[in-house]
Amino acid sequence: MATVTLDRILQSQGFGTRRYCGDLVEAGLVEVNGTLCEDPGARFEVDGLQLKVDGEEWLACTKAYLMLNKPTGYECSQRPRHHPSVYNLLPVPLRQREVQAVGRLDHDTTGLLLLTDDGQFIHAQTSPKKQVPKVYEVATFDPVTPEQVQALLAGVKLDDEPEAIAAHACEATGERSLRLSLLQGKYHQVKRMVAAAGNHVTTLHRSAIGGLQLDPALAPGEWRWLTAEDMVALKSPGG
Residue pLDDT, tens place only, 157-170 = 888 888 888 999 99
Given a cut of 80, whether residue 238 has pLDDT beyond it is no
- DSSP assignment of 76-117 equals SSSS-SSS-BGGGGS-HHHHHTT-EESS---TTEEEEEEEES
Mean pLDDT for the stretch of residues 200-222: 95
Mean pLDDT of the chain: 91
Catalytic residue among 23, 106, 108, 118: 106
Contacts of the segment 18-25: beta carbons below 8 A, 24+ positions apart? 24/53, 24/54
pLDDT of residue 1: 67
Q: What is the pLDDT of residue 186?
A: 80
In the chain, what percentage of residues exceed pLDDT 90? 74
The pLDDT-based confidence of 128 (bands split at 50, 70, 90) is confident
DSSP-assigned states of every residue in the chain:
---EEHHHHHHHTTS--HHHHHHHHHTT-EEETTEE---TT-EE--TT-EEEETTEEEE--SS-EEEEEEPTT-BSSSS-SSS-BGGGGS-HHHHHTT-EESS---TTEEEEEEEES-HHHHHHHH-GGG---EEEEEEESS---HHHHHHHHH-B--TT-SS-B--SEEEEEETTEEEEEES---TTHHHHHHHHTT--EEEEEEEEETTEEPPTTPPTT-EEEPPHHHHHHHTS---
pLDDT for res 185: 78
pLDDT digits (tens, 9 = 90+) for 38-66: 999 999 999 989 999 998 899 999 999 99
The three-point CA angle 175-202-107 to 5° equals: 145
Whole-number Å distance between alpha carbons of 193 and 156: 6
pTM, two decimal places? 0.88
Mean pLDDT for 15-24 is 94
Confirm whether 23 is a catalytic residue: no
Which pLDDT score is estimated for 143?
97
Neighbours of 167 (CB within 10 A): 28
27: pLDDT strictly greater than 60: yes
- pLDDT tens across 212-230, in order? 999 999 999 999 999 999 9
